[in-house]
């Protein structure tokens, strides 16, 4: 029997890919395995199968659709440790982080299974009735990123399916294994064509985006990729949801308890080796607290154990790929010339590792400040004036998230209300309850994820206006 990541799922059947390509283990830089990829003919087959399956799935009772999601969660839970190990080896994150991603994926499947779309009465009287209804769009392409390949897949798959759509899942070319594994589990749980998984060598994504029989594209990825999706979807005017890049700022006010918050800030900046869209990318700190914060974060950098995520002692894994490593190293090289290095970790001499670092006093023009670095390198930027900190935090085309840290919650809320982003945390980070909808502003995306609003993204509104 082939491993659970050796086959594609097309029209209810597990089939070999027309082509294959290697998957690289980021901790070693060596080939982990070869994985199947779909060609143009297989992609066309999947789109046609989804088109056939969508009407019947849309007409299926919501309770039946929910039962299928719960069954998928149960099947994944039975293989949770295998999934976590696979995730660590293909993506690079520590095994503890991978287990957390699997647990989050299980919770997301079960949460969305409990959601229902219900008509909303807009007007009701003796002579008329106006009702807002929602119906599924049809065929959804779920384009999944490499930083959270399982969780981001589920956060597209579950709401699209519970809304009544057929879904074609396409993982990033470099992280296909956990997606293919989930497709293997789904094969016997959903009608043919309702859930399909295609490995990608780089050509499948553009084909799905441009295809006239794909009705919605849900992408989590870079802003550059988001622009390509917009251009590719323009001819067919298909619907889309885009969760794109971020350059999230944390603002640490002068009344913050630095020792208490430093571990949270460090985690917010270095989780998944800094490869988190909503992670902390730059920290603005009141000048009189800057030395203490640098000292506290520097101590955490020196304590970090950087290594293969499969090793129990590792607290920080590698970057995901060689291109990301090269880009991060270029940013660090510039930053070390422009600012002051407070602390720098130790990394293995193989794989795609970048040392965790704290660098302070950089100019706003430094790449490490103005770009989304996706690495465990933390720029500390002192400020003298609160209004200036807010202005600097807002001076970015990215507007995904941010955070404010203070001993006075009301003061922090006032500052949070001035940040022009899709999400602002106050005295916390990475608190993401599924019932709370999320979405970026400006170059960080369009549309909403999570909550009933995230399900509605995969539907069309219909107004029924009746004379009684």
Please list the active-site residues: 243, 277
Contact partners, residue 380, CB within 8 Å, separation at least 6: 283, 285, 290, 293, 294, 297, 342, 358, 359, 360, 361
Phi/psi-derived region of residue 212, left when phi > 0, alpha when psi is between -120 and 50, beta in every other case:
alpha
CA 154 to chain centre: 10
As given in the structure block, the two tokens for residue 172 are 């990033």
Q: What dihedral angle (degrees, nearest 10) is formed by the CA atoms of 139, 145, 150, 155?
A: -50
- Residue pair 366/387 in contact by the 8 Å Cβ criterion: no
Cα–Cα distance measured from residue 376 to residue 252, given in angstroms and rounded to the nearest whole number: 19
In order of 105, 210, 246, 421, the CA distances from 223 in angstroms are: 24, 18, 9, 15
CA 166 vs CA 20, 143, 189, 195, 417: distances in Å: 25, 14, 13, 6, 39
Alpha-carbon distance of 196 to 8, in angstroms, equals 8
- The two tokens of residue 187 are 């094969």
Q: Are 430 and 268 in contact (CB under 8 A)?
A: yes
**Distance from chain centroid for Cα 456:** 19
Angle CA 354–173–152, to nearest 5: 80
């Amino acid at each position: 029997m082939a491993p659970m990541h050796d086959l594609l799922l097309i029209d209810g059947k597990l089939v070999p890919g027309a082509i294959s390509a290697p998957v690289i283990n980021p901790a070693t830089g060596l080939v982990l395995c070869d994985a199947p990829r779909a060609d143009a003919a297989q992609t066309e087959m999947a789109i046609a199968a989804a088109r056939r399956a969508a009407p019947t799935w849309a007409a299926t009772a919501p309770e039946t659709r929910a039962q299928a999601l719960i069954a998928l969660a149960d099947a994944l839970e039975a293989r949770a440790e295998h999934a976590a190990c696979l995730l660590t080896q293909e993506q690079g994150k520590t095994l503890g982080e991978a287990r957390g991603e699997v647990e989050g994926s299980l919770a997301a499947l079960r949460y969305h299974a409990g959601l229902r779309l219900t008509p909303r009465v807009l007007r009701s009287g003796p002579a008329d009735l106006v009702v807002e209804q929602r119906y599924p769009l049809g065929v959804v392409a779920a384009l999944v990123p490499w930083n959270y390949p399982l969780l981001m897949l589920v956060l597209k798959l579950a709401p699209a399916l519970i809304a009544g759509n057929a879904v074609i899942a396409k993982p990033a070319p470099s992280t296909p294994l956990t997606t293919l594994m989930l497709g293997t589990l789904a094969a016997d749980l959903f009608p043919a064509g309702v859930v399909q998984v295609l490995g990608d060598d780089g050509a499948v994504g553009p084909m799905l985006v441009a295809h006239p029989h794909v009705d919605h594209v849900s992408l989590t990825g870079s802003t550059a990729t988001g622009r390509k999706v917009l251009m590719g979807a323009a001819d067919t005017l298909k619907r889309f949801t885009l969760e794109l890049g971020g350059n999230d700022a944390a603002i640490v006010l002068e009344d913050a308890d630095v020792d208490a918050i430093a571990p949270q800030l460090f985690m917010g900046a270095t989780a998944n080796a800094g490869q988190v869209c909503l992670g902390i990318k730059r920290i603005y700190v009141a000048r009189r607290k800057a030395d203490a914060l640098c000292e506290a974060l520097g101590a955490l950098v020196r304590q970090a154990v950087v290594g293969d995520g499969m090793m129990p002692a590792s607290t920080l894994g590698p970057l995901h790929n060689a291109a990301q490593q090269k880009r991060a190293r270029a940013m660090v090289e510039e930053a070390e010339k422009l600012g002051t290095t407070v602390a720098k970790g130790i990394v293995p001499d193989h794989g795609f590792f970048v040392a965790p670092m704290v660098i302070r006093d950089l100019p706003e023009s430094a790449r490490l400040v103005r770009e989304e670095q996706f690495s465990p390198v933390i720029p500390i930027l002192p400020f003298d004036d609160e209004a200036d900190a807010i202005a600097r935090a807002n001076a970015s085309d990215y507007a995904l998230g941010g955070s404010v840290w203070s001993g006075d919650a009301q003061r922090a809320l006032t500052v949070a209300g001035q940040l022009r982003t899709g999400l602002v945390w106050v005295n916390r980070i990475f608190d993401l309850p599924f019932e709370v909808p999320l979405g970026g502003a400006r170059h960080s995306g369009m549309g909403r994820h999570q909550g009933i609003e995230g399900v509605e993204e995969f539907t069309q509104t219909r107004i029924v206006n009746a004379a009684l």
